[in-house]
Chains A and B, each alone.
Chain A
Amino acid sequence: MTLMTKFLGAAAGMALTSGAALAEPALIFDLGGKFDKSFNEAAFNGATRWAEETGGKFAEIEMQSEAQREQALRRFAESGANPIITMGFAMADPLSTVAPDYPDTKFAVVDVNWLDLPNVRQVSFAEHEGSYLVGVMAAMASKSNTVGFVGGMDVPLIRHFGCGYAQGVMATNPDAKVIANMTGTTPAAWNDPVKGSEITKAQINQGADVVYAAAGGTGVGVLQTAADEGILSIGVDSNQNHLHPGKVLTSMLKRVDVAVYDAMMAGEDLEVGEVVTLGLAEEGVGVAVDEHNKDLVTEEMQAAVDEARQKIIDGEIKVVSYYENDSCPALDF
């Protein structure tokens, strides 16, 4: 061992030093990986856009297990990265221990809004508003009056998605039925496309002809199965319409990419200590219409979505958040 160290040490002496330069932003992905076609990929796209536009570089790491979060945070903070942008609610706890140790470093966290830390910017989204809109579209597209919802890990955040979705469906078609299932209770549920596929098949058997996946990497399986079985699906977070052109009704956009892009753009001037919630009004959430799904979205549908969107922004329609009292008026989980 000691000799090994010496040998390696000698090699080290001859070699160039490497590592991150100071004050580069760093991005920590959540479990599921940066190419999950959804939540993490949106973050990656935002960071890439920033890098392309500014010519800057950023450090990144994908989480392999729960226990690594704190080490990754500390390592980036130690190396002088600033700001450090982290993805997912699971970072809340590690952040609350690490951030106070590095008061000069600025952190941003997506999907967290309950911390009280002076050097952390918390960004959350009004997912229920965006989900309401895709709910409206799902209800109009469904012929069987039955639509599905596939959640990832069973946590309030995902119920929050499902709740907004159900409200949108019910508001459009009070006779419709919403089937909701969760993939699992652990973070592994974010990356289990096989199970996502199974759940989708089960929902199809129960009559669903539109399914909405809010499940990170698991959603890939949901969308695939929906396309294979000839029903419509709705993507989430990133624009997933292109995955199966003509088969994906729309995607509930959650502009994680914008949040990451903005944070990187702000750089060391990032405003911290505040909680930002991005809703329809801020264009933080929305529905995706592009060349891949324009044939699926009827004028009537587009009009209904536009109307609902405006009404939500104006406060005429109040979409109930699951967080308010941990229950949903339109759906039982």
Chain B
Amino acid sequence: MTDTAPAIELKGISKAFGPVQANKDISIRVMPGTIHGIIGENGAGKSTLMSILYGFYKADAGEIFISGKKTDIPDSQAAIAAGIGMVFQHFKLVENFTVLENIILGAEDGRLLKPSLSKARKSLISLAEDYGLNVDPDALIQDIGVGMQQRVEILKALYRQADILILDEPTGVLTPAEADQLFRILGRLRSEGKTIILITHKLREIMEITDTVSVMRRGKMTATVKTAETSPPELAELMVGRKVLLRVNKKPATPGDVILDVKGLRVVDGKGVERLRGIDLQVCAGEVLGLAGVAGNGQSELLEVLGGYADGTGNVTLNGTPLDLSGKKSDGQSRRARGVAHVPEDRQREGLIMDFQAWENNVFGYHHDDRFNSGLLMDHAAIRADAEDKMARFDVRPPDPTLAAKNFSGGNQQKIVLAREIERNPDLLLIGQPTRGVDIGAIEFIHEQIIALRDQGKAILLVSVELEEILALSDRIAVMFDGQIMGERAADQTDEKELGLLMAGITDTENEHSVAEVEANLARAGGDASKEV
């Protein structure tokens, strides 16, 4: 293509974890001054590959060339020395340090802190000017928003003279507006000659910003194409290995009676902070109410209190009968008895016991049911049979009920939870982040199940930080911001832009708003949003 050496060239990289081949003979060339996307499902080996590049893992085979020179990267220090910077999905920042202190952390010169700090301050100012990365050097990390924290991560890499930036799922925690802002920054970095590798599973982002894209599937690189010469359906097919429906097929909803009626719901957390500040919403039989919002604006608390494991105040009725929001009658058991099923946001932490086998997880929360017990003891045979049945019907792979939950992929874990909750035939299904960390193929299946349940006349309250998902599944959409509902829209009469503004707490969606305004609003409210994801 050109005479210049590629900024990064990987040749024949292979890495195995035990019997699992995470990377298999992978070769990539990334030219300097370009943005290269790596896309693939969860577990496709993207992060493993980047971890090899950043020195966290040692490849079993293969070579790395940086700017044409063969380079050995045994650890992250070597990677930094080679000019590679990494921005992780989960930020590695010290919450109670300032921006400046975080930036020099691990790169201090000498014994005294002062000289490092003043030197860093100077270069921070020039970096900010060069790339439009404005941050307050003296703000504490815990006081700034997620988008801002991400910028600190990028600055950290740039401060260490990085020419190559790797970003791992950078938009997972951002609002659409923040994501746009990030892409502008990335564009600017590219024009300044930096090389960027963007890891994501979102097709939209690939199409929007990258120059070239590599697709990974099951540890192998299935294709590398110019972004301009491909399309989302083609990429999706390359990722999954078959044709994928990117839209959810659904009939219009036929809402029935009000199942869940929430009035003035308030929740105060352990620190005395009011996390829900008077929520009003209704969910009817046969409809999906989507709850959009940036993570950490009270959605989790809402699910928890409705699911019975956090205390709240207010008036909530289910099928017309009041629901206890605190005290003995407010726990997961009594909620289940009332016909509330709950697919929690964090299936690995809440929905499943990762060390339990699939069949044991199959009755989690329902283990007091008579059909799973005989006398004092649990009826293991009955539970196993039930688990096998559900796993077959929800196409859990492998269909082995004696496998521990942790040994299933994210999508299959979610199917186990979904099967457990949906098969109970609940009146109300609470479902949080149904497809987080789930591969595209399974997403399709999970979405179908949710819509099928709706069509059986069940009420569904859906919480997701993926706007696309909210838009695809919901019949009505409520947007949460700072513990309140900012507005409610019919799904077919709104768009991402309008919802994005509501998510930033701006109810006046008719007029134009600057990005700065959106950011200021977000930083004010969702300062600790990052902790929720």
On whether A and B touch (CB less than 8 Å), the answer reads no
Which residues of chain B have a CB within 8 Å of any CB of chain A?
none
